Amino acid sequence: MATEILLSPPPNGDTVLWRYMPDENFYPLLVAQSGIDDWAELPGTFPAATISLPSLGSFRLSLPKAFSDEHEGTFPALNSSNITYCANAGVLLGVPPAEQLQRAESFCERNPAELRDRVQTTALLHGVSCWTTKCDESLHMWNSFARRKDGVVRGVAIRTTCRKLREAVVLPSLHSPVQEGKVRLTVNCPKTDFDRLLFEIVTVTYVDLDRDFLLPDGARNLLRLKGREHYVDESEVRCIGLSPALASLYRKRLFCSDPSLDELKDALKNVSSSRRGYCLPIKLQHAIEEIRTFPAGDTSFFEDVSARTAAKGIRPALVHPSVF
């Protein structure tokens, strides 16, 4: 019998988060324009008063296919088809064996195989930013996540909390009424739920992707899973959000129906061949509680980070050399 995957609850607002990154990823964080330009095809998404803030930066989220883990955004093995899904769901839900076949046939009639493709393609059109709850500075994390493309380990670690990060990220105003011809239409979705659709912070659940089974296997939940064998030591919390490409498809339908599989595949093809991710504006001064630079002996890099962050309104006292 398969083991049911119980998704980890979201972190509370006071949970401390760290993000390690190479300098070549840190410097674009300090530039606001990318977070605005990536949403250019959805005009009017950010108020002028917000995008003119001097402390604004660009918070990058990467598409799942940009990660080295080939399982990102995909179904666990036991969820990969309607047949295996129904077989395992029937057992976990206690459906009598005599009824399982009838219920499976009914499920497949209502949920054609194409739907499973749509769910996975939708997951692959989300953006992901990975953080850790490990508070002790780690040489392993520096070597794993602050390594530049040229192989040199040189970068920063940023400390924040879930609440501060969530409040600092500027969400596009897609919830506002949409003009279509002469008819004014309003997105029918509570704003709190809508904001969560655009951006949420979740705890990663570590699983056996070959033997564990996920009952609520929607697109977002696929992004909350990672293989236990290789990644459990990372203690990961991740930010998940709608990419501009996916948001554009939903907005055309006023967030009342799902895009077709062809629309999703075309969007994925377009974004996968370009930047493989997107940015959201972020109020850096509000988000950042501390920055550490690595290696500790690189004083010129430390001074450069201190000067650049001070120019964005981040207090220099928040910048410290690594302990390594």
pTM comes to: 0.91
Average pLDDT, the chain: 89
Region 213-239: mean pLDDT is: 94
Does the pLDDT at position 122 exceed 50?
A: yes
Partners of 277 in the β-ladder: 62
Region 26-31: mean pLDDT is: 96
Distance CA 144, CA 163 (A): 26
Above pLDDT 90, what percent of the chain? 69
Residues recorded for the chain: 324
pLDDT of residue 159: 97
DSSP character at residue 180: E
Q: Which of 22-31, 80-89, 267-276 has the lowest mean pLDDT?
A: 267-276
pLDDT of residue 190: 53
DSSP character at residue 10: P
Region 92-118: mean pLDDT is: 91
Does the pLDDT at position 38 exceed 80?
A: yes
What is the DSSP annotation of 93-121? TT--HHHHHHHHHHHHHHS-HHHHHHHHH
What crossing angle do the helices spanning 244-252 and 261-272 adopt, rounded to 10°? 150
Going by C-alpha positions, the residue among 166, 217, 158 that lies closest to residue 10 is 166
Distance CA 242, CA 193 (A): 13
Region 100-125: mean pLDDT is: 92
How does residue 175 score in pLDDT terms, banded at 50, 70 and 90? low
Does the pLDDT at position 297 exceed 70?
A: yes
pLDDT of residue 274: 66
Q: pLDDT of 55-97, one tens digit each?
A: 899 999 999 999 999 999 999 999 999 999 999 999 999 999 8
Return the SS3 of 9. Answer: coil
Distance CA 254, CA 248 (A): 10
Going by C-alpha positions, the residue among 149, 147, 135, 158 that lies closest to residue 59 is 158
Place of tokens 């011809």: 181
Partners of 161 in the β-ladder: 16
Going by C-alpha positions, the residue among 295, 244, 234 that lies closest to residue 267 is 244
pLDDT of residue 192: 61
Above pLDDT 70, what percent of the chain? 92
